[in-house]
Structure formats: C-alpha cells, structure tokens
C-alpha cells in the first residue's frame, strides 16, 4: 500500500492525496511534477528509476487507510542529481 506522502521531498511543495501534481518512483520517492519532470528529467536521484503520476486514493478509503502525514524533506544536492541524470536520462525506463 502506498504511504501517500504529504509533500515533495525536494522542494517541499504540499502534495496532498488529492493533488494531481504528485509523482512517485517505484520506491515511492515523491516529487511534484516540476521537480520530477523538469529538474530531475524523469530520473529519480535516489534509485535511477522513472516517475509516474501518483494515484489518488478515493475519499471513502481514506478513513480506514489514511494518507501519511509524515513529512519527508530530503533535498538532493546538484551533484547527485546530475550524476544520476548523466547515467540514466537517455535510457528508457524499461531499459534502466
């Protein structure tokens, strides 16, 4: 089950469950669309995987399965971002 983290871990932007801007990698590293697609160019700086829009959990399910309220704020340094981009940016996700 996804945690549905409440914010972009790089820039800190709020990304509530209902946000249409939340993007996640397969490990649920969570970024806003601007960070995931523009800054990171669809390369997760932690795992090298790609991002997909995070699904929205239906309201009726939130009572029993609430979204996480635990902020994860781990801004990535430029060097790490660049290193992963150089390695993976031009390789399709399914070939990484």
Q: In the complex, what is the shortest distance from the CB of residue 18 to Zn ion, in angstroms, rounded to a whole number?
A: 17
Q: Which of 11, 64, 76 minimizes the C-alpha distance to 22?
A: 11
Per-residue binding string, Zn ion, 27-56, x by CB under 5 A, is x-x--x--x--------x-xx---------
Is residue 16 near Zn ion by the rule CB under 5 A?
Answer: no
Candidates 8, 15, 40, 84: give the one binding Zn ion (CB under 5 A): 8
Sheet holding 22-24, edge to edge: 30-32, 22-24, 52-53
For 41: left if phi > 0, alpha if psi spans -120 to 50, otherwise beta; the answer is left
Binding site for Zn ion (CB under 5 A): 8, 10-11, 13, 25, 27, 29, 32, 35, 44, 46-47
């Amino acid at each position: 089950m996804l945690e549905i983290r409440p914010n972009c871990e790089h820039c800190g932007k709020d990304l509530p469950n209902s946000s249409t801007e939340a993007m996640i990698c397969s490990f649920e590293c969570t970024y806003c669309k601007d960070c995931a697609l523009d800054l990171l160019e669809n390369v997760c700086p932690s795992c090298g995987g790609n991002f997909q829009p995070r699904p929205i959990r239906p309201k009726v399910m939130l009572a029993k399965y609430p979204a996480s309220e635990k902020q994860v704020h781990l801004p990535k340094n430029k060097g790490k971002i660049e290193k992963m981009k150089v390695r993976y940016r031009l390789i399709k996700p399914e070939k990484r």
